[in-house]
Chain A
Amino acid sequence: MTIRGKAFIAGIYEHPLREIPDRSNSQIHAEVAAGALADAGLSFSDVDAYFCDSSAGFGPLSMADYLGLRLTHVDSTETGGSSYVVHVGHAAEAIAAGKCQVALITLAGRPRSAAMAGRPGGGGATPDMVFEGLWGMSGAVTGYAMAATRHMHEFGTTSAQLAEVKVAASLHAQHNPNAFLQEPMTVEEVLESPMISSPLRRDDCCVVTDGGGALIVVSPEVARDLSRVSAKILGHGEAIKHADNGRLDLTYTGAVVSGPRAFEEAGVTQADIDYASIYDSFTITVIETLEDLGFCAKGEGGRFVLDGALVAPDGRLPFNTDGGGLCNNHPSNRGGITKVIEAVRQLRGEAHPAVQVPDCTIALAHGTGGSIGTRMGSSTLILGTEDA
């Protein structure tokens, strides 16, 4: 069985705020849910499936209660920032299997307002957290920095090449009035930003923002009856790449598995992709993911992004036209849902006119969760226009 064409994304919503000190996570979940349902032209009473991560309370129980949902299907798969891309795939599977018709996916979090504290001493109760919690890993950047060091060592990738990714994102973010960072940057400016964890500098990192987003995934029958344009789900792949008994290789990501599965199910190739949302927690995340999804050979990512390759609308592979996690939004320290949202905007022709890809018919959205430096979730989603 395949999910190709068996489900559609009918509603999207990105919370407009980037700092929300005065609301609970639950309220933000509710606000984005209402926003996405309104976008689709549906109401809470239409929802029969709910998908969330571990931020929503006691799995899906808390928000189902809060929102008064009557559900036939739930899923709280937790793979970090890639969760919501996984959720789209799982929603499509459930719809294809006849378990539900209207699936609501929400994300909310407030890391900017409630700064996360360091955890010396190992913190967690699982051995992986103990053995990795002792060495001063200062947030996610430390692990990604070690991946960047190794990628540079093996393939000659440079800091200037990493900076090109941030520059492209900033050129897009200048058109997004909600973006956290709206000023276009140059490679030189990125290279002058303070070193955080070598070789990654401040501007190699994504923004830290409050907020959230939501998606509505529906059956073909429901999509047909809605006046709003939907995005057709063509293919999906998911994978967990872990430390492999201590033999981890930091030069690639789980996209080497999730990507081919998604392309095969969708029946398209890299050359068919008009627009790509590539998870961009850090610039190195984009470089490795582009290679692993097959947009260039392994090790060539640094050279691939040169010459404005990622800049919309005319680059070879326009990416993250909302400004991405690097400039626009990384709500709850997780970028997966905004990746899907911008891909749907592109397919609807509703991205900002300055960055709208002409005749965008096939789009890819890729999520990365956990850490490239240890263990991670990868999820690849390929979407098309309604008649794709």
Chain B
Amino acid sequence: MSTTLPTPVPVSLPETEEFWAATAEGKLLLRRCDDCGIPIWYPRPFCPVCGSFRTSWSEASGRGTVYTFTVVHRSGIPGYREALPYVVAYVELAEGPRVMTNIVDCEPDDVVVGMPVRVVFHDTGQGSALYRFQPDPTATDDGS
């Protein structure tokens, strides 16, 4: 088990205020296009697929699989360099987007591509939380 990861406070832009506020309540929001229906990532009030500005929030399932990952063994980033080794990954959410994050609550060497994961929130103490992912013991085998 790696040392606890730091919880840097995200810079909140006007269009992501609701997103970060929801994380503090344990919710992972996805911006969705009201015209073509596609989930948008990273969150923005514009659909890069169809060009629409008609978008709204919906709550994500918080489940996904590991698309790819790396175990970081060298880092100069304060907070992270004290937590080596740690895992940076792209998790493919059940809704489609591949989201950069950390995999936590398991040995870094146990992470594999395709592994089912579920979201956990690490509070920053500043009205936001970081969405990270842990192995999902409840996932069925047909996931990936």
Which residues of A pack against B, CB within 8 Å?
Answer: 117-125, 127-128, 130-139, 142, 145-150, 153, 194-200, 243, 245-248, 250, 374
New A-B pairs, 10, CB < 8 Å, besides A127-B44, A128-B42, A197-B74: A120-B79, A127-B42, A130-B42, A135-B100, A136-B80, A145-B70, A149-B69, A196-B72, A196-B73, A197-B72
Q: How far is the CB of A287 from chain B (nearest CB, A)?
A: 15
Chain B positions 1 through 35: 1 when the CB is less than 8 Å from some CB of chain A, otherwise 0: 00001101111010110000000000000000000
Inter-chain contact A121/B74, CB cutoff 8 Å? no
Q: Within 8 Å CB of B80, what residues of A?
A: 118, 120, 136, 138
Task: Name 14 A/B residue pairs within 8 A (Cβ), A-sorted.
Answer: A118-B81, A121-B11, A122-B11, A134-B130, A136-B83, A145-B70, A149-B69, A150-B67, A195-B71, A197-B71, A199-B70, A246-B39, A246-B41, A374-B100
Inter-chain contact A121/B8, CB cutoff 8 Å? yes
Query: Complex formed: what's the CA distance from A148 to B74 in Å?
Result: 17
Q: How far is the CB of A269 from chain B (nearest CB, A)?
A: 32
Query: Complex formed: what's the CA distance from A118 to B90 in Å?
Result: 20
Query: Complex formed: what's the CA distance from A198 to B112 in Å?
Result: 12
For chains A and B in complex, what number of residue pairs have CB atoms within 8 angstroms? 135
Q: Within 8 Å CB of B102, what residues of A?
A: 135-136
Q: How far is the CB of B124 from chain A (nearest CB, A)?
A: 9
Q: Within 8 Å CB of A147, what residues of B?
A: 68
Q: Within 8 Å CB of B9, what residues of A?
A: 121-122
Among B41, B67, B77, B96, the most chain A Cβ lie within 10 Å of the Cβ of: B77
Q: Within 8 Å CB of A198, what residues of B?
A: 70-71, 73
Inter-chain contact A127/B77, CB cutoff 8 Å? no
Query: Complex formed: what's the CA distance from A142 to B71 in Å?
Result: 9
User: For chain B, which range describes its interface: under 10, 10 to 19, 20 to 34, or 35 or more residues?
Assistant: 35 or more
Query: Complex formed: what's the CA distance from A148 to B69 in Å?
Result: 9
Query: Complex formed: what's the CA distance from A302 to B14 in Å?
Result: 45
Among B5, B44, B88, B89, the most chain A Cβ lie within 10 Å of the Cβ of: B88
Inter-chain contact A142/B8, CB cutoff 8 Å? no
Q: Within 8 Å CB of B15, what residues of A?
A: 127
Query: Complex formed: what's the CA distance from A376 to B7 in Å?
Result: 28
Query: Complex formed: what's the CA distance from A117 to B100 in Å?
Result: 21
Inter-chain contact B43/A138, CB cutoff 8 Å? no
Among A130, A134, A150, A195, the most chain B Cβ lie within 10 Å of the Cβ of: A134
Q: Within 8 Å CB of A132, what residues of B?
A: 100
Query: Complex formed: what's the CA distance from A135 to B8 in Å?
Result: 9
| B99 CB-CB contact with A under 8 Å | yes
Among A131, A135, A195, A247, the most chain B Cβ lie within 10 Å of the Cβ of: A135
Query: Complex formed: what's the CA distance from A125 to B67 in Å?
Result: 27
Query: Complex formed: what's the CA distance from A119 to B68 in Å?
Result: 23
The contact of B88 among A131, A146, A150, by CB within 8 Å, is A146
| B76 CB-CB contact with A under 8 Å | yes
The contact of A146 among B13, B70, B74, by CB within 8 Å, is B70
Q: Within 8 Å CB of B72, what residues of A?
A: 136, 138, 142, 196-197
The residue in chain B whose Cβ has the minimal distance to the Cβ of A148 is B70
Inter-chain contact B68/A135, CB cutoff 8 Å? no
The residue in chain A whose Cβ has the minimal distance to the Cβ of B20 is A130
Q: Within 8 Å CB of A125, what residues of B?
A: 11, 13
The residue in chain B whose Cβ has the minimal distance to the Cβ of A116 is B76
Q: Within 8 Å CB of A117, what residues of B?
A: 76
Q: Within 8 Å CB of A199, what residues of B?
A: 70
The residue in chain B whose Cβ has the minimal distance to the Cβ of A244 is B48
